Chains A and B, each alone.
Chain A
Amino acid sequence: MSFEMPVETWPAAVSTVTLGATAEQGGTRTSTVTVGGEATLPFLNFEQETPNRPVIAMEVFDEQPSEWPAPLEAAYSDVWGDPAQWAQKCVEEYGADLICLRLASADPEATNASPDEVADHVRAVLEAVGVPLIIWGCGDYDKDNEIMPVCSQAAAGERCLLGSAVEDNYKTISACALADKHVIINEAPLDINIQKQVTILVTDMGVDPSDIILYQTTGALGYGVEYAFSIMERTRLAALGGDAMLGMPMLAVVGAEAWRSKEARLSDEAGAEFGWGPQEPRSILWEAATATIFLHGGCDILTMWHPEAVALVRRTIDELMA
């Protein structure tokens, strides 16, 4: 008697979302990225081939980050004064599928750049690279509501991914996505219900469910990663079970979370105190391990920082897709 692998089928599938628009599609991108479409749990290739490969977005800040640890400084200090060059390096040298542009300069607590200044950064990066763009505000609601319409307009027709809509601030960004034909990130604080509520609020504004990517404020390895994993898993199970308000591809912020951890930040000397070994491999592995966990949780888009971590995760994706 031969063994037959039990195959589970689900009533619904995750939506398929394409980011970026080529000239034919009304944009200027040289490539596009398509994510989602899963009809079963991650990488159960015997049930269904993973229709679209998970992608890695490399993060670029529109002003020089302060207090970055040595391994990141080594990778980016030659370009981090110029977002266009930085983006170029990520795409050309490190093979980024997308660029995630963080509009950090707009933060009122920092440089407090004007909407027009910030929009110039968006234009520069769009010109510098041909891959699709994620444009993410500075996190201050009022300021984001000022800059996002201008930045969205600057990238009109490019089908960028705009971040992020939250329960208390979703209207402006929804309107931007509608007006300039972008996709938006719906963010929730590790809460499946609030995630769903944001989707309802945003779709109430008229945004099409197929123009939405879900994002739960993730944690890093050692910092609540298992909770984030289970929320992703639940979200995906709900999506496959037919919950249309949760049936979108998911994004995880890996770089920022992993590099916040003590394990990634402590220098060689400080780490030696705990017998941790040198910082560079340690921090890279921390980021890569965090990303790998989220891949298994069903994440479709990972935003990452260190090029070697990116390379490691890309190899993992290759193996999982094989």
Chain B
Amino acid sequence: MADDSSQAIITFEPDGKAITAAQGERLLDVATRADVAIPSECGGQGTCGRCEVILHDGVAWDVQAEEQVAAGPGTPLRVLACQTTVVGDLRVEVPTAPRRRGLVVLTAAPLPDRVQQTFLEAEPPAALARRCRVSLSLPSKTDSLPDLSRLARALEASCAGPARFDISLPVLRKLPGLLRANDFSLDVTVADAGTHHHIAELGPPSQGGTVGAAVDLGTSTVVVYLIDLHEQTGIAIEASHNAQRRYGDDVISRIAWAEEHPQGTATLQQVALDTINGLIERAAASQGMQTSDIIAVTCAGNTTMMNYFLGIPAGPVRKTPHVPPAGAAPVYSAQTIGVEVAPYAPVYVSPAIAGFVGGDISAGILATGMAMSEETSVLVDLGTNGEVVVGNRDWMVCASCSAGPAFEGVGIRDATFAVRGAVQGYDYDAQTDTATVATIEDAPPVGICGSGMIEALASLVENEVIDRAGQIQMDFPSDRVRETDEETEVVLIRQGEAGAERDICLRQPDIENLIRSKAAVYAGLSILLRNLGLTTDDVQHIYLAGGFGNSLKVERAVAIGMLPDLPLERIHFVGNSSLAGASLALLSRRARDELVRIAEATTYQELAVEAAFADEFIASMFLPHTDISRFPSVVA
């Protein structure tokens, strides 16, 4: 026992992290303080069951039953961390199954040539912040320009973009001294604030490089990508879960949580910042850098994430007509927002299109180059929400199709994010009853991620393990099909197969979840095309984006009817296009301008109000589709 009888020591296994906790504190909150990740979908309401932990050696208080519960040596006890409070010292085991370590998330497929040329190779690309070495001519009787004007004159020559400069008073105060101490030669950090340039920092000439951070702030996953602004190359990437997950798995439940709790918005902002700052620190440390070497940050996320990132209450997004509090935002300094890099570093957020179509989608449109092409393309972003964009350089229309996070693994028992060991490729052969498994980094399979789910579903229906309605066929001649107490399930990978430590299954409800998700995506795309008077034949390219795997056989996405049946060379899996767009915004003023144009030019269509959407959705809840004639290559 701790000295003070009202304090207890809680040890979390298998990390071994120990932390002092007050009597009455919820285990979920203790874990949060200890930085131990425990999933929670319902935001601590005691309804989702995801935060189950195992108690060893100690007593605790069950909030729902209002009674003390005890776990002795050899008699562990399973409880919900959100419904259990501290009574005394306790050893808490966090089950290993949902542990997700070593997250690997695709940065992006290589950028299309056109995108590369337009934004990175043409003219000075003008990064969001740059450090200029200026050597001013020395003042004389004939050239008695004030120091500041003298500096602006020199900068004008070397900075593309607006010729207007501003400077904060503390920085201005340093100017005369620094100039004269360094023979009128300085390193000036200039931030592109859109309408003007901002002289962010002054210093003596140095050899330091310039690095920026591109951030993909997803509902489930956060990725930080460090980029050398001068060389235009990536130097480090780190990813983790969004720690906001403990306040709910989707944006709606997080907004609800924020509205119900005092300081809710501030908490969500801080938690997002903690996640981002942690990743930045890890990425910088991996390169032996200081975080203060990072002089610019861009961030792309959905509308809700972006508003919480800036500490703006996102409540209006949740209610009709789903108005974003802020769509685009001015460039603020890192210090103002709370991003732990150089305090003066400009932070640019990718502008949102609508309440449910955010800056991550603007960034995706940018990165695929579809907004520059004469050809009509489609972007499908298979994130938690599921957004679809159709358009070309003259027009863009987007919709959100409420796909749900099934392909990100939420609600799928044996799912994992795209981490080391995630099953991202799967093929089953009924003849030999064998599974061919591809995992990320070829590690032993730990669970299945989105791309693996797509491939597994296609393979199961092809081999008639499930029928086209997704029903598991109990008469299928293999013990992979089985009935447990609760459900029927298909064992995709048996324990021992490909080195798996346990059976990896798809349960009947998992399959139904996935079919609903893919149906929503396809229905959204179909209705959007129909409303535009287009058919799939008019679509020259389909870009499938998402951080749910590193590779995907796109024909499998067609086989399950997630994407329309187009020639395969027109379908491209582009990985995390949000991060790719954020990276471009970091490097190129033209890309930032283009993002603004994209967000303004893209029209949002509300699909939920359309009766035809519901009808198409039902028709799509079949493998591949009720209207087989749309999938000639699949049913041939």
Contact = CB atoms under 8 A, between A and B. Distances in A.
Interface string B593-632: 0000000000000000000000100110110001110000
A24 to B, nearest CB: 37
A159 interface: no
Nearest to B615: A193
B468 A197 contact: yes
10 contacts: A171-B475, A191-B618, A193-B615, A193-B618, A193-B621, A193-B622, A197-B468, A197-B626, A200-B468, A201-B468
B628 to A, nearest CB: 7
A200 B626 contact: yes
A194 B626 CA distance: 8
A193 B467 contact: no
Contact of B467 (A191, A196, A204, A243): A204
Contact of B626 (A168, A171, A193, A204): A193
Chain B: number of interface residues, binned into ranges? 10 to 19
B469 A201 contact: yes
A197 B615 CA distance: 13
Q: Which 7 pairs, one residue from A and one from B, show the smallest C-beta to C-beta distance? A: A193-B619, A193-B618, A196-B626, A193-B626, A197-B622, A197-B626, A167-B469
B402 interface: no
A256 B8 CA distance: 68
A13 to B, nearest CB: 18
A293 interface: no
A245 interface: yes
Contacts of A191: 618
A245 B627 CA distance: 9
A171 B467 CA distance: 11
Interface string B317-342: 00000000000000000000000000
Max chain A Cβ within 10 angstroms of own Cβ: one of B475, B621, B626, B628: B626
Contacts of A200: 468, 622, 626, 628
Contact of A194 (B468, B618, B627): B618
Contacts of B618: 191, 193-194
B540 interface: no
A168 B469 CA distance: 9
A201 B628 contact: no
A181 B467 CA distance: 24
Contacts of A197: 468-469, 622, 626
B429 to A, nearest CB: 20
A168 to B, nearest CB: 7
Interface string B576-607: 00000000000000000000000000000000
B516 to A, nearest CB: 14
B467 A201 contact: yes
Contacts of B628: 200, 245
A201 B471 CA distance: 11
A227 to B, nearest CB: 14
Interface in A166-217: 167-168, 171, 191, 193-194, 196-197, 200-201, 204
Contacts of A194: 618
Interface string B448-469: 0000000000000000000111
A190 to B, nearest CB: 12
Interface of B: 467-469, 471, 475, 615, 618-619, 621-622, 626-628
Contacts of B471: 167-168
B470 to A, nearest CB: 10
A241 to B, nearest CB: 12
Contacts of B467: 201, 204
B630 to A, nearest CB: 12
Contacts of B626: 193, 196-197, 200, 245
A274 B467 CA distance: 51
Query: Which residue, A171, A194, A197, A204, has most C-beta atoms of chain B within 10 A?
Result: A197
Interface string A218-258: 00000000000000000000000001010000000000000
Contacts of B468: 197, 200-201, 204
Contacts of A245: 626, 628
A200 B628 CA distance: 9
Contacts of B619: 193, 196
A187 to B, nearest CB: 14
A191 to B, nearest CB: 7
B573 to A, nearest CB: 28
B589 to A, nearest CB: 50
A191 B626 CA distance: 12
B527 to A, nearest CB: 14
A75 B168 CA distance: 98
Nearest to A194: B618
Contacts of B615: 193
- For A168, A200, A243, which residue has the most chain B Cβ atoms within 10 angstroms? A200
A245 B628 CA distance: 9
B150 to A, nearest CB: 73
Contacts of B621: 193
A194 B471 CA distance: 14
Contacts of A201: 467-469
Given A196-B626, A197-B622, 6 more contacts: A171-B475, A193-B615, A197-B469, A197-B626, A201-B467, A201-B468
A29 to B, nearest CB: 33
A201 B469 CA distance: 8
Nearest to B628: A200
A168 B512 CA distance: 13
A314 B622 CA distance: 40
Nearest to B474: A171
A234 to B, nearest CB: 10
B518 to A, nearest CB: 15
B615 to A, nearest CB: 7
A55 B54 CA distance: 66
A193 B618 CA distance: 7
A78 B49 CA distance: 60
Interface centre among B467, B615, B618 (most CB of A within 10 A): B467
A150 to B, nearest CB: 18
Interface in A92-112: none
A266 B622 CA distance: 43
Interface string A144-181: 00000000000000000000000110010000000000
